[in-house]
Amino acid sequence: MRKSNYDKQPATHIDGKMTTGWENIVATLSEAWADEPVWVIDLYPGTYEEDFIEAFAKTGRKIINTRDLMRPEEEIRQLTERFMTDDVLFGYMSNIRLEEYWTPQPPLGGVTEPAIIIGTGAASFLPLKGVGGSGPVCYADMARWEIQQRFRRHEVKALGIDNHEDSPSVQYKRGYFNDWNIIDRYKDDLMQSGRIEYWIDSNRRDEPKMITDAQMRQGLERTARKPFRVVPFFDPAPWGGQWMKEVCDLPREEVNYGWCFDCVPEENSLYLEADGKLFELPSQDVVLAHTRELLGQQVWHRFGKSFPIRFDFLDTMQGGNLSLQVHPTNEFAQKEFGLPYTQDESYYLLDAGEDAVVYLGLKEGINPTEMIEDLRAAQRGEILFDAEKYVNKLPAKKHDHYLIPAGTIHCSGHDSMVLEISSTPSIFTFKLWDWARLGLDGKPRPINVERGKFVIQWERTTPFVKSQIANHFEVLSEEEGIKEERTGLHPNEFIETRRHTFSRPVEHDTRGGVNVLNLVDGEAALIESPEGKFEPFEVHYAETFIIPACVGRYRIKPLDKECMTIKASVRT
């Protein structure tokens, strides 16, 4: 296995310095806002609210906690009940607005003494009766991955309710379907208003950091106009493998790593670097702030402020099979979950062992009723489901590409390293069979046979798999040192993928839409702008990188003897 040169801390440089530590942060704001009667410290859900209250209480100002201004918890649970549903995993995308959380007449009255409003939605309370001006705002954003770690440790509360004792999956469900949906809309409006003067990164509890809004905007603008990478995160899985430990240089003491999200902007972070320090923020912020420059006009018109392409890793090398699963059709996703689109995807094999396989599509002549009854019996623990009786089991090798339009039964087998290329929704997988194993928490993983049966496309059998979705390559051009191939995706899917094998520079053009690429072979490559729009950007083996639509023409030059990239874009 090759030596790792995978960069786990990609960053965009910004000018100036950061303020670090609570004492320095409070002192900086006290000096900047000395004449302001009311300050606003607005918090994204998932922050350690008590840290902010403790730090700013030392100013001697009156602290107003926004939790005290919200409706009673029981009313908020009733308000959100229809979106949370009684399912352990799935809810319905909320259309609640933040103002629905407040009491009809927030008990503030006139503030006659210096005060600080702290908490989620704090900026929505100004201007206040008896207070002039709108009050300066400092926004404390949060990385979604860190929020999930806090869910697992049962450390933080949800928007308007205390649910920290709930299971991590239930906490995540509330965040995904309700809280983050509400607050991202609110944060977007606040960013556009120009009221934010400072930003705080408290993802590392022992090292809070603060930058000015001018630095934040500089970082987002620079990011949106050049090739960039989001901050990857890694997680173990019941089926996890050992490949990423070596290639991505991860802690060897962990039992395994199954997941790597290395391009899911709604989940990943960005780093801004100043004076050798890293400031972490959700990568979704660059999507909100520079939608058209990043996505392009046509992609923005179709998807709004949603980054539609997702790249992630699934590592089963020396591990186990993924669950046998199916993704909902668009019709089902819209009706049942309120999603604008579903998770179409594909498996690109970055690496594979000698006995690697992919389960894909149904066999000819199977009885759907019999298959569903066997899945139900397996779920009850009465039998072991015979996957090979019903599902095609295909040998898989390095650089194979299997297309998986929604509704197609699929599963990556053991000893595979999959680069999953898909549309963005990230939790809408209906597990049908999980090989009779337990999750990392020692409990059975949720199975969704009753939902899956409604979306399985029973006509996608062996002939369909072989003719349309298994290694459906098409050579588009070939010349000395460069070969371009179309590798999919299926016509049902909105993502187009192209593979380039090259030993000399390759010319690319975003053609007005965002490109996402991964260096699937070769040690390193250099991305350059023929017009000098950005500094040369170096990428390494297995790294995913984003080329904003506004970049236009770009060139990828191999720094090895031969390199290979896979590129995804939205069909227009």
**Token pair for 71:** 């409706």
Query: What are the sequence ranges of the domains in the chain?
Result: 12-223, 234-469, 474-570
Phi, then psi, of 167 in degrees rounded to 5: -65, 150
User: Which pLDDT value is given to residue 104?
Assistant: 73
Query: What pLDDT is attached to residue 131?
Result: 47
pLDDT of residue 3: 65
pLDDT for res 89: 85
Alpha-carbon span 204 to 183, nearest angstrom: 21
HSE at residue 376, side-chain half, CA atoms within 13 A, is 9
pLDDT at 166: 94
pTM for this structure?
Answer: 0.95
Name which of 494, 550, 502 is nearest 522 in CA terms: 502
Alpha-carbon 353 to chain mean position: 28
Give the tokens for residue 245.
Answer: 């430990």
Give the phi and the psi of residue 324 in degrees, each rounded to 5: -75, 125
Closest by CA to 116, choosing from 90, 138, 92, 87, is 138
Look at residue 27 in the predicted model and tell me its pLDDT.
Answer: 98
**CB contact at 8 A, 239 and 319:** yes
Tell me how far apart the alpha carbons of residues 202 and 188 are, in angstroms, rounded to a whole number.
20
Contacts 24+ apart (CB under 8 A), 194-199: 195/123, 195/134, 195/136, 195/137, 196/137, 196/138, 196/139, 197/32, 197/136, 197/137, 197/138, 198/28, 198/29, 198/32, 198/137, 198/138, 198/139, 199/138, 199/139, 199/140, 199/141, 199/279, 199/281
| Cα separation values, 390 from 371, 378, 461, 466, Å | 7, 14, 10, 16
DSSP class per residue in 149-177: HHHHTT---BTTB--TTS-HHHHHHHIII
CB 29 within 8 A of CB 122: no
**Contact (Cβ atoms closer than 8 angstroms) between residue 440 and residue 236:** yes
What are the beta bridge partners of residue 41?
Answer: 118, 138
**Measured torsion, CA atoms of residues 350, 351, 355, 361, in degrees rounded to the nearest 10:** 0
- In one-letter notation, the amino acid at residue 551 is V
- Is residue 145 within 8 A of residue 57, CB to CB? The reply is no
Answer yes or no: same fold for 12-223 and 234-469: no
Output the CA–CA distances (angstroms, integers) from residue 403 to 142, 264, 344, 424, 549, in the order listed.
34, 19, 9, 16, 25
Alpha carbon dihedral 9, 13, 17, 20, in 10-degree steps, equals -20
Q: What is the CATH number of domain 12-223?
A: 3.40.50
Q: How far apart are CA 51 and CA 41, in angstroms?
A: 12
Instruction: Count the alpha carbons within 13 Å of 543 in the hemisphere toward its beta carbon.
Output: 27
Per-residue model confidence (pLDDT) at position 399: 97
Options 2.60.120.10, 2.60.40.10, 3.40.1010.20, 3.30.110.40; CATH of 474-570: 2.60.120.10
Cα separation values, 273 from 208, 287, 355, 367, Å: 14, 19, 44, 58
Structure-block tokens of residue 5: 């040169």
- Give the fold, CATH level 3, of 234-469: Jelly Rolls (2.60.120)
Residues of the chain with pLDDT under 70: 1-3, 105-112, 127-134, 425-427
Nearest-CA neighbor of 571 among 506, 488, 462? Answer: 488
Q: Give per-residue pLDDT as tens, 97-155.
A: 999 999 876 555 556 678 999 999 999 887 544 444 467 899 999 999 999 999 999 99
